[in-house]
Structure 1
Amino acid sequence: MRKLKIFLLLPALVICFTSVNAQKAIYLDENQPIEKRIEHALSLMTVDEKVALCHAQSTFTSAGVPRLGIPYLKMSDGPHGIRAEGNWDGWKNADWTIDSCLAFPALTCLAATFNPQMSLLYGRSIGEEARYREKNVLLGPGVNIYRTPLNGRNFEYMGEDPFLASIMVVPYITGVQENGVAACLKHYAFNNQEKNRFFVDVDMSDRAMREIYLPAFHAGVTKAKVWSVMGAYNLFRGQYCNQNDLLLNKILKTEWKFDGAVISDWGGVHGSKQAIEHGLDIEMGTGTDGLSSGAKNVYDYYYMANPYKKMLANGEASVATLNDKVRRILRLMYRTSMNNDKPYGSFVSEAHSKAAKQIAEEGIVLLKNQNSILPLNLNGIKKIAVIGENATRSLTIGGGSSGLKVKYEISPLKGIQNRFGSQAQINYQMGYAAGETAYHVNDEFPSKLNADSLRKEAIKLAAESDLVIFVGGLNKNSFQDSEDADRKTMDLPYNQNLLVAEIAKVNKKVVVVLISGNAITMPWLNQASAVVQSWYLGSESGNAIASILSGDVNPSGKLPFTFPKQLSDNGAHSFGEISYPGVNLKQYYKDDILVGYRWHDTKKIAPQFEFGYGLSYTTFSYKDLKVSKTDEKNFTATFTVTNTGKVYGAEVSQLYVKKVGTSIVRAEKELKGFDKIFLKPGESKIVSINIDAEAFRYYNESIKNWDSEKGKYELLIGGSSRQIFLKEAIII
């Protein structure tokens, strides 16, 4: 038997030996610049080998060059954790026993921290997880702008403000790539809804494109030097974004000087000629005219596979264009799969759990706290009712490509029991039950549980209890916070609004914990004692929520997007179907640059909760604003923030810029700086925020470039977009 094993191993040993020898040739002297090594590798490759690099060879890998010892690229969803290993072909999990990951909070939570240090911690931690699992490309982060509260994928992104997203995305990318893993910035661009996402043709003004929807991508490319970018499914001005000449060639590669590889979203390519000529480098996930996964040589039928070779042979495609793609792919490989200096990584470590919990705690937003019911004081509280399916439901699975197979997930109920169980009796009722989602038909079927019975049992428990903690919100089912479908309404599903209102009739102490990545209506807001927006918090969800409820951690998160009172108050929806979701698959962003708080503040429409809003268990005061001119184009604003309360806490000081007497359409104000500071009771700190020339500029369509209005501006300092405490005028 032993001889047989050795005999069977001999071919593999020969291949390995050959690859190692060839690999030495490709690696050259590792002290040589990467560009020199790229050119050497390129010179040794055949046309077939070059083309093979440009398309998938399995569901989540693209080819290497075995003859030359160049390994293939391994990619992984998602931006919140490392996806379970799948089969080579197809979407089913491979049922490994060692691929259960740690779930980090969703990116809405990260944005809500308003803390770039948390973003760096996040990127480093998830990068270490990806590296340990030997992934070369992490398919994230996403920075599409929150335009409508119906977008099913908003939870994966960083909110409505381009400045906030631009600041927060850079450390994330930096942290991931420190591990020799490429971040893949997505979905480039204008993927701001899931409804009709494969076919909707989006258009907008150049000004909206430049001021609102591209800045976070620009920052990821030019400041973080991201190594890969993923295209979006939708069209922009008649061309699919994965093969869009303006977006990929003219803006990304020429104007922004992006030197990495453009990877298509899975199935997002629709033709060979445009994909080849318009800037796509690696084609992934294309359907192949009826050939099912697992069919022999299925990947040879991709638009950038055999058809590409045929076009090259016929002189219909340029070898120079092919070589540019190969250089970009090799550059990505030398940074990742062929990078001998990358660390080993780590997986579901104690340090990562701690990081996930800290990020979650800093991102949770306290929306209401009537009579300071929070943090919970359990004096006289003997019975606590925890009500709501989200208290026990796993929220790391589902939702599309961000769904995870996790090592553990602390539910809100478990976290509450662990923290308060020794002080009070904790009882649980579901109260409502979500339906079952059938992702293959993109629909949700009603739960088989009796909704009336669940509601009555919950109300009975609430009446018998001294305090109610309602844990509800959305989940990852279709038509909620999920890929490939938008929400149908802003209301909470499963009659939760009715349930909360009825609970409040029988118990005056109701703390509502909302889990969602989107704004929701709150008709019961006046009846609730407290409201906590907790996002999708990942593996440490329950522990983080309990930390906030108990006061072990003082909430410091701020809303990264506006909560409208009703859907019609949102700018995208105020112009009818042409603006959302489109008419006959044509859509024009008629809200233009007035997205989110820009719309509400400019149009004087009061939101339910404004951008940048978030309460604390302590209070802060602002004073002594001074603005100095550091040079001809730059200013520095300094002011003093004091913790005037009785507990340690953090405040996000926000700087907005307002043009006084503008001659063009401008938002009432725009975020142009922020700083999160941590203060002991009674402690004061001087905050200094720099404002450069970019803070005052707008995109002038008549000259097709950035421009600025001279004149008077106001620098506004506050705790949210509508809580302005200090202001000073300047002239530029």
Structure 2
Amino acid sequence: MKKQIIALALLAGSFVAAGAQVYLDPKAPIEERVKDALSRMTTHEKVRILYAQSKFSSPGVPRLGIRQLNMADGPHGVREEIEWNSWSAAKWNNDSIVAFPSLTCLAASWNRDLSRAYGNAVSEEFAFRGKDIMLGPGTTIARMPLNGRSFEYMGEDPYLAGEMAVPYIQAAQANGVACCLKHFFLNNQEVDRFGVNVNVSERAVNEIYLPAFEKAVRQGGLWTIMGSYNKWLGEWCCENDSLLNGILKRRWGFDGAVVSDWGGTHTTMGAALGGLDIEMGTDTDGKTKDKSKGYNTYKLADAFERLINEGKIPMSVLDDKAARVLRTIFRTSMNAGKVIGSQCSEAHYDVCRQIGEEGIVLLQNRGGALPIDVSRCGRILVVGDNAVRNMSEGGGSSELKTKFDISPLNGLRRVYGDRVDFARGYYAGRARYGSADKLSPDSLARLRAEALDKAKSADIIIFIGGMNKNFRQDCENNDREDYNLSYGQNELIADLARVQKNIVVVTFGGNPYAMPWAQAVRAIVHCWYLGSMSGEALAGVLSGAVNPSGKLPVTFAARQADYPCFQYGREGYPGVDMQVYYNEGIFVGYRWFDTKGVRPRFPFGHGLSYTTFKYGKPVLSATSMTAGDSLTLTVPVTNTGKRAGKEVVQLYIGDEKTSVERPAKELKGFEKVALEPGETKTVSFTIIADDLSFYCEKTHGWVAEPGVFRAYVCASETDVRGTAVFELK
């Protein structure tokens, strides 16, 4: 016993001594900790922290007490725990979490404060589960309306996506959880995502596809970023020197770690010199003694270490990578200020509900069909598979295992009680990567007949459909097959509308879609994916307990062919011979529709309310400015209705005369303002020269040409409420 006590005392003494070392001192500046740790590490230890040790972790340095990094898929909640070395569920009984609304829903809220609340709440759940890196959020631009992962991103406009990502990132990282922004970059389609080379102009890269990422790095202080699978300039994005070293690290000053998408690394030399810092993978079985399948076969593993030891790659390259990983460790897993977090708290469900309520978009409301008065609604027939589907399931890596989900049907029954009847009408089944459970044609016909029969005696129909997270819907590794709603929904809605004119269509999904029945229905509501509180958020809006305030972060076209990417045949999408061409250049989303005169079904920034808003005249602080100046634009906004509501005031700027083709106008500011009935508030915007500039491919830089500009104050991209002209001298 005495010997054991002496041994423990010696161990305790060594621990105290180690604790005095700078790298273990949580109060020491991070750069000093990184420098100190590097000085103590062997070459092998430096290499070893650069690649995975399991499906979702990378190692630390046990000899030095440096912790590993634990990662998990996001961005809408913590993915359920999977086995250490396989993709099978670990089947824990304590990993059920809150499913937060999709990022498209967050973007549709146009509410920076809600974005901050989202980042705080979701990161608390990651911290509670012992995670250091959250794989999300995503700011990939919605170039194409069939993209299977659009629901994970923040729309078609780089300004909106960047503004909404920054508070999310700041709040999450304040809790000691790193955001891993994805997918960097040009991952605008899932078809051929593992090998397609994206051909895109230098101008479009800088004006459309990079700005949201840049804002996340420069303003958000991003700690980690995930490379995408596809190629750019003929090189894989996970080992692309021009992208990762040239743009991200040198131009933007990114000091964090670049993480590969799982299996996105292809060559040792490319990964070594192309800017990758942490390599993650998919098919390695770390349990086997077969070294041909071990983690040491990764590109940044044994092969990289040999090149370092042989002097074929400078030690400075290894030191830079190791420093970036250590910096991430000290910011997260060895951050003394990292929160303990919580899981499934009442506060988290409240944030989930609020984001859902403000992200729901009221697209159409003829004759005041909505809200549905609880005291005078009569018999309500709810029709549709999505009324009872758990939409946290499916979707690929963002699938979530939830403690509970309030379905739309249950949410409506909580409000309207036994006045609600239900008929499924259609069945989408559960389809994952090609396998599906299906009903027979006779069973599907019976579902349809039941809905049409019940419609005859209903006073109002609420159709709840849209997309889901099945394979070839909103799901990783595939795109939608076309722009229509699947499972015969278009035909069913049209038939229901012929039976009962008082019909409200509610859709879920991460993408726009065709609405051939739009003129036959009274109201249209789009919900994206609302998470665990789906039913409560939807019922609040439909009943009028909540006044809708969401605005579209993407353009809803009348036809698939109206989108610019489809103007160029297969070259525009999905590509030819693994080459896709972004021939539309900078004219993505509303920039195309507005400038080319193509009328959308519902424009970018559109969203109705149960109240009305009157905009006053925009006033500029001056009529001219120079490159170093700024202007202030103010506009009064009044709630002229009888309900309290929130309005998103949008600022667009157009160049009246320019040497290059530019969009008619571009989003440069927005503010969400809450107003009581009769209340007026003044909204203020600051305009600087950067808001007026375009990227010049001749000079490879940004140019703000002197001349006349017009500021547009809008309720949506096409709903212009006032303009003001000024000059850049």
TM-score by length of 1: 0.95
Residue of structure 2 in register with 1:430 after alignment: 424
Say which of 539, 545, 553 aligns to 1:552.
Answer: 545
Contact 1:109 1:364 in 2 (8 A): yes
8 Å Cα contact 2:472-2:478 kept in structure 1: yes
Question: Partners in 2 of 1:469 and 1:351 — Cα distance?
Answer: 30
Whether 1:209 and 2:202 are equivalent positions in the alignment is: no
Deviates more, 1:47-56 or 1:447-456: 447-456
Residue of 591, 599, 602 corresponding to 2:595:
602
Instruction: Render the CA deviation track for 1:11-63: whole Å, top value 9, x for unaligned.
Output: 99999997786465353444322111111111111111111100000000001
Aligned match of 1:678? 674
Partner of 2:311: 315
Count of paired positions:
719
Q: Does the CA contact (< 8 Å) of 1:22 and 1:67 recur in 2?
A: no
Q: 1:516–1:19: structure 2 CA closer, same or farther, 3 Å change rule?
A: farther
Indicate yes or no: 2:702 matched with 1:703: no
Alpha carbons 2:175, 2:337 under 8 Å: kept: no
- Of residues 523, 541, 548, the one that matches 2:534 is 541
Residue 386 of structure 1, aligned match among 369, 382, 388: 382
- Superposition pairs for residues 95-106 of structure 1, below 5 Å? 95-106=91-102
In the other structure, the counterpart of 1:652 is 648
Residue matched to 2:191: 195
Give the corresponding residue for 1:583.
576
Amino acid at match of 2:57: T
Letter of the structure 2 residue corresponding to residue 178 of structure 1:
A
8 Å CA contact 1:20–1:69 kept in 2: the answer is no
CA offsets 1:204-253 (integer angstroms, 9 cap, x no match): 11100000000000000000110000000101110000000111000000
CA offsets, 1:627-675, max 9 Å, x none? 1148743111101100011100010010110111222110011000111
* Alignment of 1:617 onto 2:613: no
Matched residues in 2 for 1:102 and 1:286: separation?
A: 26
Q: Aligned equivalents of 2:512 and 2:13: distance in 1? A: 57
Distance 1:295 1:416 in 2: 56
- 1:618 partner letter: T
- Alignment partner of 1:55 is 2:51: yes
Structure 1 residue 335 corresponds to structure 2 residue 328 = no
What whole-Å deviation, never above 9, does each CA across 1:688-714 have from its counterpart, x for those lacking one? Answer: 111121110000010001111211110
Matched AA of 1:219: K
How big is the shift at 1:199?
0.6
| Residue pair 2:179, 2:224 contacting (<8 A) in 1 also | yes
Is 1:355 aligned to residue 348 of structure 2? no
Superposed, 1:260-299 pairs within 5 Å as 260-287=256-283, 298-299=294-295
| 1:164-179 paired onto structure 2 within 5 Å | 164-179=160-175
- Following TM superposition, by how much is the alpha carbon of 1:295 offset from its aligned partner in structure 2, in angstroms? 5.6
Would the aligned equivalents of 2:374 and 2:543 in 1 still touch at CA under 8 Å? no
CA distance in 2, matches of 1:121, 1:438: 32
1:397-546 matches, within 5 Å, as: 397-421=393-417, 424-439=418-433, 442=434, 444=436, 446-448=438-440, 450-546=443-539
Q: CA deviation at 1:726?
A: 0.3
Instruction: Find the counterpart in structure 1 of residue 302 from structure 2.
Output: 306
Distance 1:681 1:716 in 2: 25
> In the alignment, is the contact (CA less than 8 A) between 1:712 and 1:731 conserved in 2?
yes
Q: What CA distance in whole angstroms lies between the structure 2 residues aligned with 1:719 and 1:497? A: 29
Amino acid at match of 2:83: N
Aligned to 2:633: 637
Aligned pairs (5 A) from 1:125-136: 125-136=121-132
CA distance, structure 2, for counterparts of residue 120 and residue 222 of structure 1: 17
Residue 509 of structure 1: how far off its partner (Å):
1.0
Q: CA deviation at 1:85?
A: 1.1
CA separation in 2, counterparts of 1:669 and 1:12? 71
The offset of 1:445, in angstroms, is 5.8
Task: Work out the CA distance in 2 between the residues paired with 1:58 and 1:20.
Answer: 31
1:674 and 1:501, CA in 2 relative to 1: closer, same or farther beyond 3 A?
same
Q: Describe the SS at the equivalent of 1:642.
A: strand
Displacement of 1:318 in angstroms is: 1.7
SS in structure 2 of the partner of residue 624 of structure 1: coil
The aligned residue for residue 214 of structure 2 is: 218
Are the aligned partners of 1:26 and 1:69 in contact in 2 as well (CA < 8 Å)? no
2:30 & 2:376 partners in 1: Cα distance? Answer: 68
8 Å Cα contact 1:19-1:68 kept in structure 2: no
2: CA distance, partners of 1:430 / 1:92: 32
Moved more, 662-671 or 105-114: 662-671
Instruction: For residue 220 of structure 1, give the secondary structure of its aligned residue in structure 2.
Output: helix
Distance 1:15 1:29, change over 3 A: closer
Aligned pairs for 1:144-155 (under 5 A) are 144-155=140-151
Q: Give the TM-score normalised by the residue count of structure 2.
A: 0.96
1:627 to 596, 620, 636: 620
Q: Alpha carbon RMSD of aligned pairs, Å?
A: 2.0
Distance 1:323 1:210 in 2: 30
- Counterpart amino acid of 1:490? Y
Change over 3 Å in CA distance of 1:30–1:599 after alignment to 2? same
Deviation of the 1:715 alpha carbon: 0.3
1:134-160 C-alpha deviation (Å, 9 max, x unpaired) = 100000000000001000100000000
Worse-superposed segment, 389-398 or 306-315:
306-315
8 Å contact from structure 2 (residues 394, 432) kept in 1: no
Instruction: Report the residue type matching 2:428 in the other structure.
Output: A
Per-residue CA distance 1:136-185 (angstroms, 9 max, x = gap): 00000000000010001000000000110111110000010011010111
- After TM superposition, give the deviation of residue 467 of structure 1 in Å: 1.0
Query: Residues of 1 paired with 2:81 and 2:388: CA distance?
Result: 26
Task: State the secondary structure of the residue aligned to 1:464.
Answer: coil
CA contact (8 A) 1:515 1:533 kept: yes
SS at match of 1:229: strand
| 686-695 vs 237-246, greater mean Cα deviation | 686-695
In the alignment, is the contact (CA less than 8 A) between 2:358 and 2:549 conserved in 1?
yes
- CA positional deviation for 1:106: 0.2
Q: 1:63-84 deviations in whole A, cap 9, x for unaligned? A: 1100001110000101000111
* Alpha-carbon separation, structure 2, partners of 1:307 and 1:18: 35
The answer to whether the Cα contact below 8 Å between 2:54 and 2:286 also exists between their aligned partners in 1 is no
Pick the aligned partner of 1:82 from 72, 78, 94: 78
- Asked whether the equivalents of residues 74 and 134 of structure 2 are also in contact (C-alpha less than 8 Å), the reply is yes
Structure 1, unaligned runs of 5 or more = none
Q: Distance in 2 between matches of 1:581 and 1:293?
A: 38
Query: Is the Cα–Cα contact under 8 Å of residues 80 and 107 in structure 1 kept in the other structure?
Result: yes
Alignment match, 2:230:
234
CA distance in 1, matches of 2:104, 2:330: 32
The CA distance in 1 between the partners of 2:16 and 2:277, in whole Å, is 27
Equivalent in the alignment of 1:159: 155
AA aligned to 2:30 is I
Instruction: Evaluate the alpha carbon distance shift between residue 679 and residue 234 of structure 1 in structure 2; reply closer, same or farther with a 3 A threshold.
Output: same
Q: Separation in 2 of the partners of 1:520 and 1:713? A: 34
Query: Does the 8 Å CA contact 2:53/2:286 hold for their aligned counterparts?
Result: no
